[in-house]
Amino acid sequence: MSKSPRRKLKIGTIDDFHHFWYLLIWIVYLSLFYLAEHLVTENYWVSYLPIDDQIPFCRFFIVPYCLWHPLLVLMTAYLIFTDPPAFKRFMLYIGFGFGGSIIFCMLFPNGQDLRPTDFQQNDCFIWLVKRIYAADTNTNVIPSMHVIGCAALALACFDAPRLRAKKLHLVMLPFGLLISMSTVFVKQHSMLDVLVAIPVSALLCVLIYKPFPRNRLQQSA
């Protein structure tokens, strides 16, 4: 009686995981950010618009401000395993957007002087604000990487058919707007930083997404 041939377990080739190399973009960016935070500490150009004086400090906005970080991590993790092409575009957007912003800040040192020094309240929101202020200096602010990152998240939701099919782009758009607003209400950015980040984000969208291929949008319909 002849034995049936054993089936070999296919675990994938190295080509199936070559897009993992794009994670190095995060490492390069974080290294540049660490360097810039220690190089640009004083003698910087002050980012400011008169409207900044009309925007009140609101401690509650620290919540959406902080949610930006885990959202970027979750989007990276999701796309790398479910949609490598969308992951590559997302990482290129992050690389050129964040990396380019940091290089600009090192070449043209900038910062803002809007942070309050005296807080009337002393609750969990103020505690979180103080932690953010301590971890992230008031320098390297223009263009706002929070705004560029929100654009990256929203565009990824449009680009990935599975996310678009679940209508997550309709959630990310207003949530991204809320996060962008939070940057000025917690006094981490001047309104000028936000305004400069908008055309930067639009330019990156055109260069990387070109715009969205029609067939990818039809896949999610």
Whether the per-residue pLDDT at 98 is higher than 90: the answer is yes
| 3-class SS of residue 91 | helix
Whether the per-residue pLDDT at 91 is higher than 60: the answer is yes
What are the residues whose beta carbons fall under 8 Å from the beta carbon of 82, sequence distance 6 or more?
Answer: 160, 162
Higher pLDDT pick, 212 / 86 = 86
Whether the per-residue pLDDT at 149 is higher than 60: the answer is yes
- The mean pLDDT value for 10-23 works out to 69
- The mean pLDDT value for 47-53 works out to 97
How many Å separate Cα 162 from the centre of its chain? 20
Whether the per-residue pLDDT at 15 is higher than 80: the answer is no
Model pLDDT for residues 113-136, shown as the tens digit of each residue: 999 988 888 899 999 999 999 999
Average pLDDT along the chain: 89
185-208: b (≥16 Cβ within 10 Å) or e: bbbbbbbbbbebbeebbeebbeeb
What local confidence, expressed as pLDDT, does residue 8 receive?
A: 46
> How would residue 221 be classed by pLDDT, with cut points 50, 70 and 90?
very low
Whether the per-residue pLDDT at 219 is higher than 70: the answer is no
